[in-house]
Amino acid sequence: MYIIINGGIDMKLTFRWYGKSDSIPLDYIRQIPNMYSVVTACYDVKVGEVWKKESLEELKRIAKKHGLTMEVIESIPVHEEIKYAGPNRDKYIENYIQNIKLCSEVGVKCVCYNFMPVFDWLRTSLHHQNKDGSNSLSYSYEDFKKIDPNNLHLPGWDESYSKEELKGLLDIYKNISHEELFSNLVYFLKRIIPVCEKYDVNMAIHPDDPPWDIFNLPRIVSTEEDLDKLFKAVPSTRNGLTFCTGSLGAGRKNDLVKMGAKYSKQGRIHFAHLRNVLYTDEKDSFCEVGHFSKDGSLDMAKIVKALVDNGFDGYVRPDHGRNIFGENGKPGYGLYDRALGAAYINGLFEMAELK
């Protein structure tokens, strides 16, 4: 007979899993202490289309077979026409609603998404060489200036465009202001949040990564002010946040301890991506480091304490790991460093939750 003395931790630990094509076996993911749910998505459907219920059911079945639940989807990507208010936006919103319903039917509780025009996360190097022999993602202010957006694609993005499509999109956004993008987000949320209320699903917007405009594309989920404005416009707490410390934390004016406390208290944080970043110059360059507070510029222990002290008990995942122990993983998404990060995150929560 086994006796578990500790009552456990309130937050729910999750791990991003890219479905059947992920080279990391679910058996390994399950072996990470306290692991609860996979974070996944249907990757075989074009952005904007309705997912297949069988695909979701299959993902769930595989996860369950390995002792894991499937309560978080990252992402249901938002079609560009919704972002720039194209002629088909209502059709794409309707499809999005169908996807929320399907997710709810298979037990999903939280949907992560972003509203960054054209590009998702951006780095200037995928294999920045660190002093400890590991390598990781990084962003250099100088190297950024050399990037041509017309030739850009990074692994893990939900969408890739042909050259012509990309040029067309970049042209469209030349005429879209921050205010317009914001009102398009509100338009979208006003349609989907009532559905989320009915179907018991929380929406968790992922902040801009990095949290500033790139290539003159407007970005509107970068700062505390942006988030306040968003939550004021659509007050239901179903309209919530993916508190991504690495993304928000790359913005040096963002006070993550304060923001973590504030939005936990408001019940807005449905999902937390926890990782550290190290500022590497006086501009806005940074590189991704191990999760440990002292390895980077963010105080992960204080951030977790702020979450817990203000009632956070949602989903958490370790975020981008370095390539360590000789691994050559999908950029940011290898096994070893994320597993180390998960173990560290467990420790921080266990201490922070001690009564």
* Catalytic residue annotation: 206, 244, 273, 319-320, 333
Nearer to ligand DNO, 60 or 206 (CB): 206
Q: Provide the terminal-to-terminal Cα distance of the chain, rounded to the nearest Å.
A: 27
Q: Which stretch binds ligand DNO (CB under 6 A): 53-61, 107-115, 127-135, 248-256?
A: 107-115
CB 296 within 8 A of CB 280: no
Q: Is 114 in the site for ligand DNO (CB under 6 A)?
A: yes
Cβ pair 103, 76 in contact under 8 A: yes
Report how far apart, in Å, the C-alpha atoms of 135 and of each of 79, 138, 282 are: 33, 9, 22
Tell me if the bond preceding 140 is cis, omega within 30° of 0.
Answer: no
For residues 75 and 98, which CB has a smaller minimum distance to ligand DNO in the complex? 75
Q: Specify the pairing of strand 239-244 against strand 269-274.
A: parallel
If one asks whether residue 121 binds ligand DNO (CB under 6 A), the answer comes out as yes
Among candidates 100, 92, 113, 26, which has minimal Cα distance to 63? Answer: 26
Any contact of residue 60 with ligand DNO (CB under 6 A)? no
Residues 75-94 within binding reach of ligand DNO (CB under 6 A): 75
- Kindly tell me which of 122 and 352 has the beta carbon lying closer to ligand DNO: 122
Buried b / exposed e across 226-235, counting CB within 10 Å, b at 16+? bbeebbeebe
For the CB of residue 355, give the shortest distance to ligand DNO in the complex, in Å: 33
Kindly tell me which of 290 and 352 has the beta carbon lying closer to ligand DNO.
290
Antiparallel, parallel or unpaired: β 125-129 and 135-139: antiparallel
- Of residues 142-201, which lie at the interface with ligand DNO (CB under 6 A)? 156
Q: Is 120 in the site for ligand DNO (CB under 6 A)?
A: yes
Q: In what order do the strands lie in the sheet with 286-288?
A: 125-129, 135-139, 286-288, 277-279
CA 21 to chain centre: 20
Minimum Å gap between C-beta 15 and ligand DNO is 13
Q: Considering CB under 6 A, how many residues would be counted as binding ligand DNO?
A: 12
112 contacts ligand DNO (rule: CB under 6 A):
yes
Q: How many whole angstroms separate alpha carbon 158 and alpha carbon 180?
A: 23
Spatial distance between the Cα atoms of 307 and 34, rounded to a whole number of angstroms: 19
> Which residue stretch of 111-119, 164-172, 250-258, 308-316 sits at the interface with ligand DNO (rule: CB under 6 A)?
111-119
Which CB sits closer to ligand DNO, 74 or 81? 74
Contact positions with ligand DNO (CB under 6 A) in 286-305: none
- Residues 255 to 274 in contact with ligand DNO, rule: CB under 6 A: 273
- The contact mask relative to ligand DNO for 320-349 (x = CB under 6 A, - = no) is x-----------x-----------------
Dihedral angle sign, alpha carbons of residues 313, 319, 324, 328:
positive
The DSSP annotation for 74-100 comes to E--PPPHHHHHT-TTHHHHHHHHHHHH
342 in Cβ contact with 318 (< 8 Å): yes
206 binds ligand DNO (CB under 6 A): yes
Q: Which is nearer to ligand DNO, 114 or 245 (CB)?
A: 114
Site string for ligand DNO, 207-246 (x = CB under 6 A): ----------------------------------------
Cβ atoms within 10 A of the Cβ of 81, count? 18
User: Residue 113 interacts with ligand DNO (CB under 6 A)?
Assistant: yes
Kindly tell me which of 90 and 120 has the beta carbon lying closer to ligand DNO. Answer: 120
Interaction site with ligand DNO (CB under 6 A): 74-75, 112-114, 120-121, 156, 206, 273, 320, 332
